[in-house]
Amino acid sequence: MKLSGGQSVTGRLWDLLFLLSVASRAQPDSDRVHFQVSVDTKGDGNLSLVRLWALIGPGDTLAPVITVMLEGED
What single-letter amino acid sits at 73? E
pLDDT at 6: 65
What does the angle CA 62 – CA 72 – CA 27 come to, to the nearest 5 degrees?
A: 55
pTM for this structure? 0.78
Q: How confident is the model at residue 5 (pLDDT cuts 50, 70, 90)?
A: low
Please provide the average confidence, as pLDDT, over all residues in the chain: 87
pLDDT at 2: 65
The tens digit of pLDDT for each residue in 30-66 reads 999 999 998 877 777 788 899 999 999 999 999 999 9
